Structure formats: C-alpha cells, structure tokens
Amino acid sequence: MTVIDANRMNEIEARYPEYFHRSFRQRFGGLMIFIATLLYGLYAVWFFDLPKLLAEAHWERVGIYLSQWVSYDVQPDLRIQEDGSIEVRYPRFSPLGDNPHPDWVVNNSDGSITVSVSGTSRSVTVSKSETIVTAHGVSVPVDVSSGAPEVVGPVPAWMTVYDDNVLADLGFAGDVSISVDRVKVRKRFLGWANFIFDTQSSFFDKPVGEVIGLIVSGPRIKPNQTNLSLAFDDIWNNSEWQHGDVWTKLFQTIVMAFLGTLLGAIAAFPLAFLAARNITPNRLLNQILKRFFDFLRSVDMLIWALFLTRAFGPGPLAGSGAIFLTETGTLGKLYSEGLENIDNKPREGIKSTGAQTVLVHRYGIMPQIVPIFVSQTLYQWESNVRGATIIGAVGAGGIGLKLWEAMRTNANWENVAYMVILILIVVFLFDAASNALRHRLMGTKTH
C-alpha cells in the first residue's frame, strides 16, 4: 500500500483544486435544482387549483364523446295516440332513410311495440298503459296511464325519475325517455352511418355485391350518366359526410403550408446572408435583420392569421400569409446561424484566386449550407402542415375551419373523427417523406 505524505497531498490538492475545494454551487447545485423543481410543482398545483379542477371535471363526458367518435344512434319516437294505437316516428334526417322499417322494431299481436336496444338483454315494450324496460337482468314496468309516468316497484340505479318523465340509461347501447304520451328510444350502433352513400343516393342501403354489379354491368340508373359516374358523384357529394368539401379543404391546407413555407424560404435566404456576421461585416445591418427575424417569430402564427383574416378576409390567402411571415423569421434565423457556423477555409481559398463575390458564395459557401438549409426547410414544411390546420380554425381556410365548425355543433363527433384521421394520415405521410428527403440530402441511412 502506497503512503502519501502531507507534502505530496498538498501538491495534489494544488494541482487539482476542483476536486478538493468544490464551490457551494458544485456541492449543492443538484439538490437546489431538485428543491426548486419541487417548489415550482407545488406552486403550479396551487396556482391552477388542480385538486378542485380534477374533482369538478366532467369525466363522464370523455366516454360520451369517445363513443360518438366511433358510433351513431337512431332515435325512434313512439307516440301513444288517444285511441290506444302507437305510431313510430323517426327524425327527419334519420340514418335509416325516409321510410325506415328496421327489424329491431317489432309490432306485437296485442298492439304493443317492442324495440330491441341491444339484443334481448336490453329492450323496451310500449303499450297504451305501460312501458316495460328490460336491462341488467331485470324488467321494470313504468305505468303511463295516469298524469305522470310512475315506476312500479323499486327504482333501479340505472333509472332516474323526474316530474314528467323517466330516463333509463342502458349504457353504450343507448337510453330510453318515457313520458305519458311518448317513449323516445336512442339506439347506438358501432361504425359510421352512410359513410359511402347517403340516404338520397340511388345506391343507398343496397348490398355491396349489388352495387358492384350495377357499376360494372347493370342498366343505367340515370339515362344520361353512367353508373360509375353516378356512384362517384354520390360519394363525393355525400350530404352527411361531405367528402368533396373535406378533401378540398384538406388539399387547401397542404397547399397553404407548402406555399407559405416556400415563400418564407425564398425571402429568408438572401436576408440570411445579410444577417450573418461572417458574410456581411456590417454590424448594424446584422442586428437590424436579426431583430426583424425575432419580431416575425415572436408573433405566433395564429396571431398573424387573425391579423390577416381581418385584412384580406377569411380564406387560404390569409393562412399562407401567416405561415410566410412566421417562416421568414424562423428560417431567416436558422439560415443565418448556419452561415455563421460554416468552415471559412473553402471560402477563403476561392476568394484568394480573385473570384467575384457571387462565385465565392457559389463554390465556397453553397456546398456547405444547401443540405442543411433544405433539411431545415423540409422540417418546417412538415411542421406547417400541422400549423395550417390550427390557423384554419380562426378563419384562415383549409380543413381547420371545417373541423372547428363540426366541433361547434357538439353533435357531429363522428365527422370530427373522420377529419382528425385524415389530418393524422397526411402528417404521417409528410413526416415520412420529409425524413427520407433529409436523410438522402445529409447522406445518412434511415433505420
């Protein structure tokens, strides 16, 4: 074992003071950061009042909205007439069409009507004087012969009694609202109703095989139009899903992002050369342009869109302009910083030959920066496809406005899901294409 005397120890301490005489920050810096993060977290909990927020949140709405994204409902309305007969009505724009006769609504021999909400386990039988709701393994009669509906026997937990009606919650399958003269049933189905053909189409409610047969070799439904053309028109102009309008708005969003990014890159490219200190040795001009870039970037794209929609009116022009202004600032900063970090040796070598400034830039700078510039521009383009959707909601056009209109109704959540899926697919495709192009330009392989 080696023994180190006092002189040797003093020599080591003098040589490596950072290990033997650590500052207060070095000794307690990590602990202080941990304590500061903890205190900030506690402050955030107090500031946003998270316990109250979580306690008062309507968590049940999450399930309702999610179910509406992937399902639709049909609402038969059973009216009890004065003579004891029961009339079944459907909403004007029912997913079943103008004259529905579903097999889950059965006319019984005694004059009553049974509606199967979910097979035989959840059903409603309506007669003149009584409505029987079957669910959760029990059948609960509701007397409707008097002035107000009255549950006969104990009221189960899934039933709620009000002054003039009784509401039975049957879970995801639907619900039933019972009053003395009408019973309104909401039956839920998985899927998207009439996604291909709406109720006004000549192909509505026909089996897939029959539709294909009509398109391929069937007689013309309309004498002046082929069945293939008619089918395409019915799909494109579907009144419930509005495929034509949705896809047109989606294309507008893509064009908006492309045009805004392209114009921003074109404007930022020459300005970046003037803002880079090593390219343009004019400190005042450098600072003015960099602060100009900061100004354009500091105003969010959404705010630019609000300004421009007031100036030019709602539409894709305002959206493209908002992206252009934001990208001029963002790409200008990125380009100028890229120029300031280039290797000056190739540039100095070409300059020493007496070449003109344009040739110095062309052969001494461009080969170094083009892959980086293109990579950054592609990334911003991909990002702006998402951004264009957001600014569309404030009137800048594109699918964002369409999405916002569907959400405002609070009833077309399946349409919202359709548009969200389209946006996700476009973002994924652009992300993959952008990554492939960037790797190709940078000379790296994708994994």
219 domain residue, yes or no: no
Same domain, 143 and 269: no
Same domain, 295 and 360: yes
Same domain, 185 and 247: no
E strand residue ranges, 81-181: 86-89, 105-107, 113-118, 122-126, 130-135, 138-143, 150-151, 159-161, 166-169, 174-178
Contact 189, 74 (CB under 8 A): yes
Contact 325, 296 (CB under 8 A): yes
* Chain-centroid distance, C-alpha 438: 26
pLDDT digits (tens, 9 = 90+) for 352-367: 777 777 777 777 777 7
The region of weakest confidence among 31-35, 286-290, 410-414 is 410-414
The region of weakest confidence among 260-264, 330-334, 365-369 is 365-369
Average pLDDT for residues 204-215, to the nearest whole number?
Answer: 88
User: To which H or E segment does residue 422 belong?
Assistant: helix 413-442
Same domain, 136 and 268: no
Quickly state the pLDDT bin for 268 (edges 50, 70, 90). very high
Q: Which residue would you say has higher pLDDT here, 308 or 410?
A: 308
Same domain, 254 and 108: no
Give the pLDDT of residue 184.
94
110 domain residue, yes or no: yes
Same domain, 285 and 183: no
Per-residue tokens: 255: 């064009």
Average pLDDT for residues 271-286, to the nearest whole number?
Answer: 87
Contact 394, 302 (CB under 8 A): yes
CB neighbour list of residue 329: distance below 8 Å, 6 or more residues apart: 268, 292, 293, 294, 295, 296, 297, 298
Please state, in angstroms and rounded to a whole number, the distance separating the CA atoms of residues 35 and 419.
45
Q: Any long-range contacts for 121-130 (C-beta under 8 Å, 24+ apart)? A: 122/170, 122/171, 122/173, 122/174, 124/168, 124/176, 124/183, 124/185, 126/78, 126/80, 126/86, 126/183, 127/86, 128/80, 128/84, 128/86
22 domain residue, yes or no: no
Contact 252, 246 (CB under 8 A): no
Supply the mean pLDDT for the chain: 85
42 domain residue, yes or no: no
Same domain, 140 and 261: no
Handedness of CA 18, 20, 22, 27 (dihedral sign): positive
DSSP-assigned states of every residue in 26-74: HHHHHHHHHHHHHHHHHHHHHHTTHHHHHHH--THHHHHHHHHHSEEEE
The reported pTM is 0.77
CB neighbour list of residue 445: distance below 8 Å, 6 or more residues apart: 439
pLDDT digits (tens, 9 = 90+) for 92-122: 888 888 888 888 999 998 889 999 998 778 9
339 domain residue, yes or no: yes
Same domain, 287 and 159: no
In one letter, which amino acid is 326?
T
Domain count, the chain: 2
Please say if the pLDDT value at position 444 is more than 70: no
Q: Which of 168, 190, 212 is the last residue of a domain?
A: 190
Please say if the pLDDT value at position 208 is more than 70: yes
Same domain, 361 and 428: yes
Please state, in angstroms and rounded to a whole number, the distance separating the CA atoms of residues 151 and 138.
13
Q: What share of the chain is helix, strand, coil (3-state, %, to 5)?
A: 55, 15, 30
Give the pLDDT of residue 16.
66
Per-residue tokens: 67: 């179910």
Same domain, 273 and 408: yes
Please say if the pLDDT value at position 25 is more than 80: no
pLDDT digits (tens, 9 = 90+) for 43-85: 999 998 888 888 888 777 777 778 888 889 899 999 988 888 8
164 domain residue, yes or no: yes
Range of the domain at 291: 243-442
Same domain, 279 and 398: yes
Give the pLDDT of residue 216.
87
Please say if the pLDDT value at position 4 is more than 70: no
What CATH number is attached to the domain comprising 328? 1.10.3720.10
Please state, in angstroms and rounded to a whole number, the distance separating the CA atoms of residues 152 and 316.
61
Neighbouring C-alpha atoms within 13 Å toward the C-beta of 427 = 13
309 domain residue, yes or no: yes
Same domain, 185 and 248: no
Please state, in angstroms and rounded to a whole number, the distance separating the CA atoms of residues 17 and 11.
10
Longest dimension (CA), the chain: 116
350 domain residue, yes or no: yes
Please state, in angstroms and rounded to a whole number, the distance separating the CA atoms of residues 415 and 402.
10
